[in-house]
Structure 1
Amino acid sequence: MPNIQKSSVGFLNKHQFWLFIIAAIIFIQIPIISVPFKWLESYFHEISHGLAALITGGSVVQIELFPNGAGLCTTRGGFTLLISFMGYAGAIMWGYLIYSIASINQKVAKIVTGLIIALIVCSLIFWVRDLLTLFILLVVLGIFFLQFKLPKLGYLQKLLKFTGIMVLLNSLLSPLYLLDGRSLGDGARLAEITFIPELIWVIIWSVMAILSLFTLSKRSKFPLR
């Protein structure tokens, strides 16, 4: 019996990344359960716009999130091209970093969770102006707060990895909604600035997400200790 338990644990650890992928794909198909994770990806998308504005000398006026997973970050000043690009690219980077950092060790996972909580709280204080966004961000905050309060750090580490995968998968799917012929959103904005077609920007973001997942799948075979 002990050998069976050890082999089961070994199998789960060996194939943990792909089990997270399967679980995330299932979660995305469930309407109610998947919604908070769409909000999570939307938040990382919008905060990436905001951080890009701040880094390039601009400012954030307001962040708005909507029930369908859409969002809007109103900025002033800064490098417009980078700000527009970093929405989808930033969400991909957040998902990748959350999973990667959670893979280092349990204490680091707890520190990262605390930093994300602090970022969300700052967003609530400085950039939220409406009740709907306030409610959505409180739900997003709750996701990380519940993880932070888990009694066993091992559970936190696994849930943080799952969260990273969910953000990445939603980041892979989200740019595809730009291909609706309406010429709205970040892709259309970048096309207007650079004269590079919106489709090319969607392909760039999709390739970034796929490469991020591919890299994580390779690294999962040689986990950090």
Structure 2
Amino acid sequence: MAPTPASIPRAIFVEYAKRAVVAAGPEMARLSARGLSVNHTQGITLGIIVLYIAVIALLWNIPYVKYSLWPFKMLVIAFHEFGHAITACCTGGRVKSISLDPREGGVTHMVGGISAVTLPAGYLGSSLIGALLIFCGFDIVASKIASIALGVCFLLTLWWARKDWLTIITILMAVGLLVGCWFIKHAEPLKYVVLFIGVMSSLYSVWDICDDLILRKVNESDASVFAQRYGGSSQCWGVIWSIVSLVFMIGGIIAGLAAFPESASQQEDDSKKFIPTR
């Protein structure tokens, strides 16, 4: 049976929230002063992040082989559309529907909201989600919590996309993958799946902006619409959003190193105590 938010001990939520705040605040200043040490387990995680970046970069544009990334691309596009949708709701708008395109596109139909916020929220929202997933990917228990949070986001996206079968299938496959990882070796594989999705989502805006605005020069993109309404060029806004995405990613990595110094065996022991599945 899949875990539910209600079954999570409150003390553990508080502890991990506290770690995140500490890592993102005063701890960051102290790290820069004394230097950030990396233990063996963290070094492996960093190496996997570098490997993911290299593999994704290679597969992104290789003919035919690139289709191996297609399910994850669609998932990240779902994050992108979720960013548009959630900011529309937060700025007084209403979401009518979300749909994904098998040619690796997506659209969020919404009414109202503040376009200065909702337009960049697709790229920046997906990159922020990616940075948070990378942060959680440094620890097994944090990855469990991240998977539950993703489940909530997926439920919202399913509600908005309840008439779009591609979106529904993509999200259900992602949920199945996450739930399945809970039951393998005390959820250790979940850590690497969350990390992969995080890296993919963090860099999506960089690669997609490069595709749309530099290689293919797509006329209708979030950046081009933003430029038409608020000035500047689409390339300029694309570069700015890409830089912000990279900053989010680096911040997620540094915060993960600061917050999760536990060894692999310690993480496994902690995972056995947190909603054990095996």
Aligned to 1:152, the other structure's residue is in SS state helix
Deviations along 1:166-199, one digit per CA (max 9) or x if unpaired, are 2212232111122133421101110111012111
Query: 1:60 aligns to what SS in structure 2?
Result: strand
Q: Distance in 1 between matches of 2:45 and 2:253?
A: 10
In the alignment, which of 230, 234, 250 is matched to residue 194 of structure 1?
230
Structure 2 residue corresponding to 1:117, chosen from 151, 154, 158: 151
Q: TM-score, normalised by structure 1?
A: 0.84
SS in 2 for 1:129: coil
Q: Is 2:63 the counterpart of 1:34?
A: no
The corresponding residue for 2:269 is none
Q: Quick one: structure 1 residues 97 and 61, their matched pair in 2 at CA, closer, same or farther if it must change by over 3 Å?
A: same
Does residue 14 (structure 1) correspond to residue 43 (structure 2)? The answer is yes
Distance in 2 separating the partners of 1:147 and 1:67: 26
Aligned residues: 215
Q: Could you tell me whether the CA contact under 8 Å between 2:99 and 2:106 is conserved in 1?
A: yes
Alpha carbons of structure 1 residues 147 and 208: separation in structure 2 relative to 1, 3 Å: farther
2-structure distance, mates of 1:65, 1:171:
17
CA–CA distance in structure 2, aligned partners of residues 118 and 210 of structure 1: 25
Distance, in Å, in 2 between the alignment partners of 1:13 and 1:108 is 14
What 5-or-longer segments of structure 2 have no aligned partner?
1-38, 60-64, 262-278
Q: Counterparts of 1:217 and 1:151 in 2: how far apart (Å)? A: 24
- Identical counterparts, % of pairs: 21
- Cα deviation code 1:189-222 (max 9, x no counterpart): 1011101211111011110122233334545654
Alpha carbons 1:44, 1:91 under 8 Å: kept: yes
Return the alpha-carbon distance in structure 2 between the equivalents of residues 196 and 33 of structure 1: 36
Matched, 1:145 2:179: yes
Gaps of 5+ in 1: 1-9
Partner of residue 98 from structure 2, selected from 63, 87, 96: 63
Match of 1:107 in 2: 141
- Cross-structure match for 2:87: 52
Note the aligned Cα RMSD (angstroms): 2.3
Partner of 2:125: 90
Kindly state the Cα deviation for residue 23 of structure 1 after the two structures are TM-superposed. Answer: 3.0
CA distance change for structure 1 residues 139 and 221 in 2, over 3 Å: closer, same or farther?
closer
Q: State TM-score, norm by structure 2.
A: 0.69
